[in-house]
Structure 1
Amino acid sequence: METLDARGLSCPEPVVMMRQALFEKPAAARMIVDAVAARENVTRYAKSQGYDVAVTEGGGEWTLDVTRA
């Protein structure tokens, strides 16, 4: 599974990164973000593409595990 590091990036950059990662319809992807807006926007985008998103928080960062629904 590919892990994308979007810490320190402002939207829409994390969403663009996730869009590129999901382009070929992989079974799963993971992204680390440190901004609430990025967490919400990437989650919304992944769900709109038919993926489930599990969010884990730790140390002011969130790990988004995106899996095909």
Structure 2
Amino acid sequence: MALTVDARGLSCPQPVLMTLDAIKSGSDTEIIVLVDTDTSKENVTRAANSKGWSVTGIQPDGEGYKLTLKKE
């Protein structure tokens, strides 16, 4: 089961920090990140890539996005 990070309603850098905390926990090979701005989507994607994770899916989710991250 994937770990879910709900960062909707938060401004950067909070979504990035929450995503990095989830990556550091090391408990999952898939993380779902919920964000509600284009800036957060781009920043989370960049941060995940820098830690060796890839964004395998970006889906519209209400007024935001659902990002699926997987360990490379």
TM-score (ref. length: structure 1): 0.91
Deviations 1:6-36 (A, max 9, x none): 1100000000000100003331111110011
Q: Which residue of 2 aligns with 1:35?
A: 37
1:59 offset after TM fit, Å? 2.5
Number of equivalent positions: 69
Aligned identity (percent) is 38
Gaps of 5+ in 2: none
Deviations 1:23-69 (A, max 9, x none): 03331111110011100000000011111102111322100100011
What secondary structure sits across from 1:46 in the alignment?
helix
What secondary structure sits across from 1:3 in the alignment?
strand
Moved more, 35-44 or 54-63: 54-63
Tell me the amino acid that sits aligned with residue 18 of structure 2: M
Q: Does 1:64 align with 2:67?
A: yes
Q: Which residue of 1 aligns with 2:51?
A: 49
Q: Distance in 2 between matches of 1:4 and 1:24?
A: 12
Q: CA RMSD in A?
A: 1.1
Q: Which residue of 2 aligns with 1:10?
A: 11
Gaps of 5+ in 1: none
